[in-house]
Copies of this chain bind each other. A is one copy, B any other.
C-alpha cells in the first residue's frame, strides 16, 4: 500500500503499522477498525481541521490556513470510506468537500486510545547521587568535524539529548578548549538565549564581580536566573581551564530532593508551591525581580519546576501568617540540599561540557583557591524547546531512512 505524503499536514513520515480495515460513521463521528483489531473514533470536526489539502494547509509552509468558524456550518460527515490506496476518505457537508487522511498519520494521532499524548519522548527519571556517582559521560571529540544535521552528528548528539531529557544532565568530553568555541558547539543543538551577562558568560573570579558566580566563594545548590519570568530551560558549562585547588562541581536532581521532601515532610512540601518568593537581582545596571514559588506542580501534583537560589532571593513579601511557615519549609529544604546522598560531585576537565536542565537540576560548587591556578568555565543558556526539537528531528530522520 502506498499513500502520497501530501496526505499528511506536516513534513514528517508516518509509517503504516496497521491498515484500515473497516469504517462506519454518524454525522459527527467516524469509527475505524484497524488490521490489528484496534478501534479508533475520530470526531468529524477534528478530521476537518486536520485535513492536509490546500483549503486547510498552505502547501508552501505546511501551516494551517483554515479558520473553522468560517465554514458554512459545523462540519458533518456525509460519507466515509477506505479508498484503494488505504487512506480514509470523508465527505463533509454542508461544505460538500471530500478529504483524505493518511492511515499512518491517523494512527499516530489516535486520541481515542492515547495513553498520554503529552508524555515526554524520554521518560523523566529522578536520580539520587552519593559517592562515586557521576554524570553520563560521552566522547564528543569529533562533534565539530561532523556535518550539521548529518548521521555522524546525530550519532554523537542523540544519546546526549536522551540523557538531558531523561536525567536532566549530560557531560560531553573531548571538546575544544578554545575560548568561545561553546558558541559553535551550542549551535549544533539550537540558538543560545543571551542575557544581561552576554551571549556566553565567563565563570571565573573577576574584579568587581556582578554575581557570586564570578568570585571564588562556594555557591550553594541553585538554578540560574530565577529572577526571570521563565528561568532558562537549559544551561551549558564548558571548561576551558581548571588547575585550581577546590572548585569541585556539585549537581543535584531538584526533582529527587522535592520528592524526598514530599515523603519526609508533607507540611513543608505543601508550603513551598504555595508561597511566592521574591527573586531579585538588583545589579548596578539592571534590576530583575520576579515572584514565584520554589516548587511548581501541575494540576495532578507532578513536579513542573524548581526555583531554588538563596543568593538570588529578595525579601519575601508574603501574607504575614505565611512568613514563619515559609521560612520553616525553606530551612528544611536547605538542610536536605546539604545531604551528600543527593549530590554527584566531579571535577571539570578542560574540554568538558556539561549540559543540564536549569529548571530541574541544581548546581553548586566548592570554594576554590584563586591563587592556586586558573579555573575558567564559559557558559550559555538555551531553551528546552531546542533539545526537544532536535530530538524530534533525530526521530524523524530515523523514520525517513
Residue from B41, B63, B282 in contact with A320 in the complex, judged by beta carbons closer than 8 Å: B41
Q: Is A256 an interface residue (CB 8 A)?
A: no
B28 touches A324 (CB 8 A): yes
User: CB < 8 Å: which of B41, B60, B112, B212 contacts A61?
Assistant: B212
Decide: A393 and B286 in contact? CB cutoff 8 A.
yes
Please tell me if the beta carbons of A208 and B60 are within 8 angstroms of each other in the complex: yes
A331 B68 Cβ-Cβ under 8 A: yes
Cβ contacts under 8 Å, A12 to chain B: 282, 287
Interface contact B62-A282, CB-CB below 8 Å: yes
**Bound CA span A28–B324, Å:** 9
Using A28-B324, A209-B61, A331-B69 as known contacts, say yes or no to A287 and B117 having CB atoms under 8 A apart.
Answer: no
- Assess whether A132 is interfacial by the CB under 8 Å rule: no
Stretch at the interface among A228-236, A246-254, A347-355: A228-236
Q: Which residues of B contact A65 (CB under 8 A)?
A: 212, 217, 311
Residue A1, interface by CB 8 Å: no
Residues A339-393 near B (CB distance < 8 A): 383-385, 388-389, 392-393
Contact yes or no, A289 B209, CB < 8 A? no
Task: Indicate if A193 sits at the interface (CB-CB under 8 A).
Answer: yes
| Given A291-B117, A388-B288, residue A69 in contact with residue B316 (CB < 8 A) | no
Chain A, 87-114, CB within 8 A of any chain B CB? 109, 111-112, 114
> Copies of this chain, how many?
2
- Out of B41, B114, B215, name the residue touching A317 (CB < 8 Å): B114
Q: State in angstroms the CA–CA spacing of A385 and B28 once bound together.
A: 46
Which of A61, A149, A289, A388 gathers most chain B CB within 10 Å? A61
* A314 / chain B contacts, CB cutoff of 8 Å: 10
Interface string of A254-292 (1 = CB under 8 A from B): 000000000000000000000010101111111111110
Residue of B11, B69, B283, B324 touching A284 (CB-CB under 8 A): B11
- A285:B393 contact, CB within 8 angstroms: yes
Q: A46-B315, A393-B287 are in contact. Are A334 and B385 (CB under 8 A)?
A: no
* Residue in chain B with minimal CB distance to A197: B191
Interface: A310 (CB within 8 A): yes
The number of residues on chain A lying at the interface, defined by a beta carbon within 8 Å of a beta carbon of chain B, is 93
A55 interface residue, CB < 8 Å from B? no
A188 an interface residue at 8 Å Cβ cutoff?
A: no
**0 or 1 for each of A319-347: is its CB under 8 Å from B? (1 = yes):** 11001100100111011001000000000
Say yes or no for A195: interface residue by CB 8 A criterion: yes
A383 surroundings in chain B (CB, below 8 A): 228-230
Nearest Cβ on chain B to A236's Cβ, whole angstroms:
15
Taking A28-B324, A69-B334 as contacts, is the C-beta distance between A313 and B114 under 8 angstroms?
A: no
Q: Is A118 an interface residue (CB 8 A)?
A: yes
State whether A385 touches B290 (Cβ < 8 A).
yes
Tell yes or no: A77 within 8 A of B by CB: no
Contact call A330/B393, Cβ cutoff below 8 A: no
Flag if B286 contacts A61 (CB, 8 Å).
no
Apart from A10-B314, A63-B211, A286-B393: 19 A-B pairs, beta carbons within 8 A = A10-B280, A10-B282, A43-B323, A49-B316, A58-B311, A62-B282, A63-B281, A65-B212, A65-B217, A68-B331, A70-B334, A109-B315, A111-B318, A112-B320, A118-B317, A191-B194, A193-B193, A289-B388, A290-B385
